[in-house]
Structure 1
Amino acid sequence: MPPAMPAPDARPDPAAAAVVALADRCVQCGLCLPVCPTYTRGRLEAESPRGRIALARAWALQAIEPTAIGDRHLDQCLGCRSCEAVCPAGVEYGALLQLARTRRRTRRGASLRQRLTEWFTARPQLLSRAFGLYRLLHPALPARLRPLPRPPRVMGQPATGNQGATTATLFIGCVAGAYEGPVRDALARLCTAAGVELRTPAGQGCCGAIHAHGGNAGEAARLGRRNREAFAGSDTVLTLASGCHEAVAAAVGASALDAFGFLDRHRDRLRFAERRERVALHLPCTQRNVVKSVPALRRLLASVPGLEVVELDAGFGCCGAAGTAMLVDPEGAAEYRQPLLEQFAASGATLLLSANIGCRLHLANGTAAPVQHPLELLAAAVR
């Protein structure tokens, strides 16, 4: 006689109930399948949004036992949220994914690489020193020990001289502290041209998106509280990375604005010199599906006379960077990236633009061509 199945835990589990409530909005129509990068690549139902929703719901109801294979399907979701953008039932897939990963992490823990990444990004000063050492050692390191491009030279914090004008504050983040000095300088120049005073509050740090995506909800909440305190009293908080924006907005509220949207509001004050050049534009998943600042970016780029923009759309719909995916699964991330790099190489463009730091670092690590934030091009052209 087979052994009896253990009785389901009778204690209430608010997280499990929340997963079920979110999952029950899915009508299993399958409209998400064509836009899902992981499903497009492998054509496996378990690698689709509705497959993962069904899996998370079954785990929450204790209808099936968690397995390593099931965990892998959840892990391999890139979190692009293209499914959310096309869902007729309004399923909040991003929220469901984070809840499911939080419950899985409580059960299984996280990999050493994930935990180290979270530990360093939560400590900006230590991370800055680590990147300083990485910059020095980068030319001598073998390729397998160069997961990210070489950081640029350290630059000062941006400041503008428009005292008494419109004021905005700048969110920096964690990895961006070492890598986005040129981008911050570009934003400062554009703000000066638009008559905006730009400030950088002390005490801020990582937005917590990396931690939330990895299921570390507690640390993500702590980092959010720190940023809320740092930006207390700020009427406008500008973000440069589309992947950080949602977490910053959750921390500081409606004062969080994407830099493109903010500059687009002041576009009548900006004048650009002619720039006859063909550039390639990569539109990150978070910019398209979460921040939705693509129209503002297009308008700003269209304001540069002579500029020809080629939008990259090859491949699976995601570059594969996906938070820490490019670090914990570099081979898989490179597979998603390759079609975009091939399209870029064939486009005749001299420059590759992308508005999310993770995407930009991932793309730059696969090509010798220059990869920049769009604000760097706009600042170089502003008069």
Structure 2
Amino acid sequence: MSISIQEDFQNRIEEEELLNCMRCGFCLPACPTYIETKDEVHSPRGRIALMMATRNGEIDELEEVEESLNVCLGCRACEPACPAGVNYGHMLEEARAIFQEHKQPSAKEKLLRKVTLDTLFTDQKKMTAATSLLGFYQRSGLQKTARKLNVLRFFPEHMQQMERVIPEPPKKSLRSQDATFKTTLPESKATVAMFKGCLMDTLFHDTNQATIQLLNKAGCDVTVPDAQACCGALHGHSGEKDAAKDLAKRNIEAFEKTEAEYIITNAGGCGAFLHDYHHLLKHDPAWKERAKKFTEKIVDFSTVLVETGFSDEVELILEDQVITYQDSCHLRNVMGTIHPPRQLIQDISGIVFTEMKDADQCCGSAGIYNLTQPEMSMQILDHKMEKAKETNAATIVTTNPGCLIQVKLGIEREGLTDKVRAVHLADLLLEAITE
């Protein structure tokens, strides 16, 4: 066994935290990978046991430990289920970071991480360029040609299906909002600084614009700081902890200048990682308190809409349909936002809201999990769609871009594209407003 890995586990993962796990098993029915496998290796308490064994030098098969950690979705559904309050998500990210720092990645993995984590997600201009290329592929006829020639047959089935559901990004010329944006209302109920996100500001740019319009209608002044960066979630979840810290510092500095009452997100995955900046930087004396003040302001946009009485300011009507809601894991499990999205949906006249069974369980997206662990991801998604179909919903609402694409993929896999749609909550609410 590599002593250096053991020493890192001893230095960076507190034994007291590991021992907080009482092995009671309350986490088991909340864990998607345990539900699918019925294997303790793929349960939260099983992974904690593996971390403890690694820390104590009691295990030689480190590949098994790393594989178990990688199969974990990181949905953190085990945390609200845990009576001892074990901070599983924090230990998971630290353990992944340790393994990442000690491994010798292949040339393919090095290239992939360089292109995505080091280049694409740290530079919004490059992200914009990448989504512009996607838009060109979709609009120029290349997509139709690729499908006609069946070029996509060389890709796995789930990626062929994903190609059909990825939304078309708006043309660059139509992105009317500059990087810096601010509204000032005559009478403001709250001042809000918006975290625009990487995918949300490119692939889902229209949803960001819808969010701003909703907040304005609720009586909020909105500012979108220019200097903000990627939240760092993908870096943190992938073991690139130092890069995540650098991005966190850039964001804290950018949002401090706004002096806003709230810092809002409309992407549950981003919001949860922003919410955890205080933990990410807890050992940095220069940033610890700044991170704490930053995280105290982080809320989902739905929370602000409810608190400012949005539904009293506008009339919300849609044609008769059944609507259900799929929780964003991180929005629910980390940020604790459960009721506001549901309340806003139920405020819409003309619709029937039907709660989905196990809506709090992961859809299998989990950042890029559907690319790195496709078999488990599709297995979880197929079971999720069984629950969705039981609601007879024509519209499935969610609050995270990864979840939205994953649910669209599920609809495609079920052959329901003519009967069921998936939409972001912000887009649904804007659609429901009657002028």
Q: Which deviates more from structure 2 when the two are superposed, residues 151-160 or residues 248-257?
A: 151-160
Task: Work out whether 1:376 is the aligned partner of 2:427.
Answer: yes
Matched residues in 2 for 1:183 and 1:97: separation? 31
Equivalent positions of 1:253-332 (< 5 A) are 253-267=295-309, 269-275=312-318, 276-313=320-357, 317-332=361-376
Output aligned runs, 1:222-261, within 5 Å.
Answer: 222-234=246-258, 235=260, 236-249=262-275, 250=277, 251=291, 252-261=294-303
Code of the aligned partner of 1:242: G
Note if 1:124 corresponds to 2:124: yes
Corresponding position of 2:169: 152
Is the aligned partner of 1:41 residue 2:36?
yes
Q: RMSD of the alignment, in Å?
A: 2.5
Structure 1: give runs of 5+ residues left out of the alignment. none
2:92 is matched with 97
> Which of 182-191 and 124-133 deviates more?
182-191
Which of 240, 243, 248 pairs up with 1:216? 240
**Residues 298-355 of structure 1: CA deviation (Å, up to 9, x unaligned):** 2212211222122333599211111121122223212111122244345332222111
When structure 1 is superposed on structure 2, of 227-236 and 110-119 the one drifting more is 110-119
Q: CA deviation at 1:44?
A: 0.6
Worse overlay, 255-264 or 212-221: 255-264
* 2:175 matches 1:162: no
Q: Using the alignment, how far apart are the partners of 1:129 and 1:347 within structure 2?
A: 39
What is the match of residue 197 of structure 1? 221
Provide the rounded CA distance (Å) in 2 between the counterparts of 1:78 and 1:84.
Answer: 13
Alpha-carbon separation, structure 2, partners of 1:124 and 1:261 = 27
Gaps of 5+ in 2: 147-151, 278-290, 412-416
Q: Bigger shift: 116-125 or 88-97? A: 116-125
* C-alpha distance in structure 2 between counterparts of 1:228 and 1:67, whole Å: 36
Distance 1:167 1:64, change over 3 A: same
Counterparts of 1:173 and 1:186, CA distance in 2? 14
* Deviation of the 1:123 alpha carbon: 1.8
Superposition deviation, residue 382 in structure 1: 2.6
SS in 1 for 2:410: coil
Corresponding residue of 1:176: 200
Report the 3-state secondary structure (helix = DSSP H, G, I; strand = E; otherwise coil) of the residue aligned with 1:300: helix
Q: 1:71 to 1:10 in 2, by over 3 A?
A: closer
Question: Higher mean Cα deviation, 229-238 or 309-318?
Answer: 309-318
Cα distance in 2 for residues equivalent to 1:101 and 1:295: 32
Q: CA deviation at 1:224?
A: 0.5
Quick one: distance in 1 between partners of 2:6 and 2:36? 40
Given the superposition, is the C-alpha separation of residues 293 and 315 from structure 1 closer, same or farther in structure 2, using an over 3 Å criterion?
Answer: closer
Match of 2:24 among 26, 29, 42: 29
Tell me how far 1:131 sits from its aligned partner. 1.1
Q: 1:151 to 1:118 in 2, by over 3 A?
A: farther
SS of corresponding position for 1:176: coil
8 Å Cα contact 1:163-1:197 kept in structure 2: no
Which residue does 2:231 correspond to in 1?
A: 207
The CA deviation at 1:80 is 1.1
Paired letter, 1:151: E
1:244-284 alpha-carbon deviations (Å, 9 max, x no partner): 11222325221222111111101264322332321221112
User: May I ask how many residue pairs the two structures share in their alignment?
Assistant: 378
Give the Cα separation in 1 of the matches to 2:360 and 2:263. Answer: 33
Distance 1:115 1:22 in 2: 33
Identify the residue that residue 284 of structure 2 maps to in structure 1: none
Distance in 1 between residues matched to 2:78 and 2:136, nearest whole Å: 42
User: What CA distance in whole angstroms lies between the structure 2 residues aligned with 1:32 and 1:224?
Assistant: 30
Give distance in 2, aligned partners of 1:11 and 1:41: 30
Distance 2:384 2:91 in 1: 29
Q: Secondary structure at the match of 2:193?
A: strand
User: For the residues of structure 2 that align with 1:312 and 1:115, how far apart are their CA atoms?
Assistant: 39
Counterpart check, 1:74 vs 2:69: yes
SS in 1 for 2:13: helix
Give the partner amino acid of 1:217: K
The verdict on how the C-alpha distance between 1:78 and 1:114 changes in structure 2, with shifts beyond 3 A counting, is farther
Which stretch of structure 1 is more off in the superposition, 55-64 or 272-281? 272-281
- Secondary structure of the corresponding residue to residue 197 of structure 1: strand
- After superposing the two structures, state which structure 1 stretch, 72-81 or 185-194, moved more: 185-194
One-letter identity of the residue aligned with 2:314: R
Whole-angstrom CA distance in 2 between matches of 1:21 and 1:124: 40
On the 8 A contact 2:5/2:98 being kept in 1, the answer is no
TM-score in terms of structure 2 length:
0.80
The AA in structure 2 aligned to 1:184 is: N
Q: Distance in 1 between matches of 2:223 and 2:21?
A: 43
Among all aligned residue pairs of Structure 1 and Structure 2, give the percentage whose two residues are the same amino acid.
Answer: 28
